[in-house]
């Protein structure tokens, strides 16, 4: 694998910064993009040198395979600034490794880890003023790879582009999150690509999610496609369920994304003395617990949404509300994670990486 240092990466600076025109007080999620991006092309059988250039349009032939065969993967990370202006990433190597896990499954050439990590560090140096300081905001980082090689034959492309783009962002969800436990549509197949962050996994969720929204839910909780008896995960979050005092979450599989936040939640819960169980969770068990009062909390966990408490769920035309707890696991764990991410608390796990 090639190796590169962040100082070797050429920077072509924009002459028209949008920084002054950006309202950092009122950021939506992933709608505003920073001035520069990292780009890196795969051609002639190797990943070429990455560069940093002004964020701007990409030119592609209509026969580029991204348009036809969905050959694309991505990651989602965040950069945080502490009160002294120091910049941090959270467990970034997890994303680097997962991108390559996704690459392999989607027949995309794996990216040298350095190109990603050193490239990201170089980009963040150029773009550090784009990292919001406001609580609850952060710089969302979107590394992605897609097929630029041409042809209508349904086979892998011979050219690809890796980009890291940055979006200063506020909260992913606007308000309360009510979820629908889905029994008809599915997110992924046994032996499919569900464990990869492949573009196609997301487009397939839009229509069922739209149907759920029309009924008043913000998110779908997917169940296994064979029996629909077990919960899997949400659109862009892993899911936790607290029954009595135990925190449950599904084991990862080839259908479920191995979330960095999920792993971190499990670790923090353990550290906090909260009992956790990683095992298949039956829908019927959740419904039962909701009915008899044992269901205390549900929440989603993901980089974009951080920890999102779920206020209620729908299942088979029945609606279940969750109690509002004073000292919820969700809030306890969220505070620990965010404090570690933003350098407000000690980091006993070695997750924070200063850049």
Ligand X SMILES: Cc1ncc(COP(=O)(O)O)c(C=O)c1O
**Using CB under 6 A as the criterion, which residues of the chain lie in contact with ligand X when the complex forms?**
76, 197, 233, 236-238, 257, 259-262, 302-303
- Rounded Cα gap, residues 195 and 67, in angstroms: 22
Answer left, alpha or beta for residue 222, where phi above 0 means left and psi between -120 and 50 means alpha: beta
From a second copy, ligand X, none, interface partner of 67 (C-beta below 5 to 8 A by class)? a second copy
CB of 28 to a second copy, least distance (A): 8
Of 153 and 244, CB closest to a second copy:
153
User: Pick from 134, 155, 160: which is nearest to 44 by CA?
Assistant: 160
- Residues comprising the chain, all counted: 355
Of 84 and 214, CB closest to a second copy:
214
Of 22 and 102, CB closest to ligand X:
102
Of 9 and 194, CB closest to ligand X:
194
* Secondary structure of 292-326 as H, E, C letters: HCCEEEEEEEECCCEEEEEEEEEECCEEEECCCCC
From ligand X, a second copy, none, interface partner of 63 (C-beta below 5 to 8 A by class)? a second copy
From ligand X, a second copy, none, interface partner of 257 (C-beta below 5 to 8 A by class)? ligand X
CB of 271 to a second copy, least distance (A): 30
CB of 91 to ligand X, least distance (A): 9
Longest Cα–Cα distance of the chain, Å, equals 62
CB of 38 to ligand X, least distance (A): 20
From a second copy, ligand X, none, interface partner of 190 (C-beta below 5 to 8 A by class)? a second copy
Q: Which residue is nearest to ligand X (CB)?
A: 259
Of 233 and 285, CB closest to ligand X:
233
Of 52 and 281, CB closest to ligand X:
281
- Rounded Cα gap, residues 171 and 161, in angstroms: 29
Of 250 and 276, CB closest to a second copy:
250
Could you tell me the two tokens for 263? 């792993």
Q: What are phi and psi of 82, to 5 degrees?
A: -90, 180
Could you tell me the two tokens for 336? 């620990």
CB of 165 to a second copy, least distance (A): 5
CB of 213 to ligand X, least distance (A): 18
CB of 197 to ligand X, least distance (A): 6
From ligand X, a second copy, none, interface partner of 312 (C-beta below 5 to 8 A by class)? none
From a second copy, ligand X, none, interface partner of 302 (C-beta below 5 to 8 A by class)? ligand X
User: Pick from 172, 180, 237, 176: which is nearest to 214 by CA?
Assistant: 180
DSSP 242-301: EETTEEEEPPPBTTB---HHHHHHHHHHHHTT-EEEES--BHHHHHHHHHHT-EEEEEEE
CB of 57 to a second copy, least distance (A): 4
**Residues 309 and 334 sit within 8 Å (Cβ to Cβ):** no
- Rounded Cα gap, residues 262 and 260, in angstroms: 5
Side-chain-facing half-sphere of 135: CA atoms under 13 Å: 4
From ligand X, a second copy, none, interface partner of 303 (C-beta below 5 to 8 A by class)? ligand X
From ligand X, a second copy, none, interface partner of 78 (C-beta below 5 to 8 A by class)? none
């Amino acid at each position: 694998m090639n190796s590169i240092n962040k100082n070797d990466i050429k920077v072509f600076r924009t002459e028209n910064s949008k920084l002054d025109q950006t309202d950092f007080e009122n950021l939506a999620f992933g709608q505003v993009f920073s001035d520069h991006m990292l780009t890196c092309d795969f051609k002639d059988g190797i990943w070429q040198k990455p560069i940093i250039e002004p964020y701007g349009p990409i030119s592609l032939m209509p026969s580029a395979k991204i348009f036809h065969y969905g050959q694309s993967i991505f990651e989602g990370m965040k950069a945080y600034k502490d009160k002294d202006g120091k910049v941090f990433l959270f467990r970034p190597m997890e994303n680097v490794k997962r991108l390559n896990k996704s690459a392999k499954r989607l027949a995309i050439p794996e990216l040298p880890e350095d190109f990603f990590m050193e490239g990201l560090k170089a980009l963040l140096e150029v773009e550090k003023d784009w990292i919001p300081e406001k609580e609850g905001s952060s710089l969302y980082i979107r590394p992605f790879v897609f097929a630029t090689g041409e042809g209508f034959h349904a086979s892998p492309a011979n050219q690809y582009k890796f980009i890291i783009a940055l979006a200063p962002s506020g909260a992913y969800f606007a308000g309360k999150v009510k979820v629908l436990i889905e029994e008809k549509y599915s997110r992924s197949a046994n032996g499919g690509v569900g464990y990869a962050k492949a573009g196609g996994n997301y487009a397939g969720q839009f229509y069922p999610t739209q149907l759920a929204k029309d009924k008043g839910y913000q998110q779908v909780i997917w169940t296994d496609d064979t029996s629909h008896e077990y919960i899997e995960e949400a659109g862009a979050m892993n899911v936790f369920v607290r029954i009595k005092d135990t925190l449950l979450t599904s084991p990862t599989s080839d259908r479920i994304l191995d979330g960095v936040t999920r792993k971190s939640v499990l670790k923090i819960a353990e550290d906090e003395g909260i009992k956790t169980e990683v095992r298949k969770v039956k829908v019927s068990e959740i419904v039962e617990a909701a009915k008899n009062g044992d269901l205390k909390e549900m929440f989603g966990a993901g980089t974009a949404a951080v920890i999102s408490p779920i206020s209620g769920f729908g299942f088979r035309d029945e609606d279940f509300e969750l109690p509002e707890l004073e000292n919820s696991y969700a809030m306890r764990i969220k505070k620990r994670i965010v404090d570690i991410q933003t350098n407000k608390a000690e980091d006993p796990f070695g997750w924070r990486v200063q850049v």
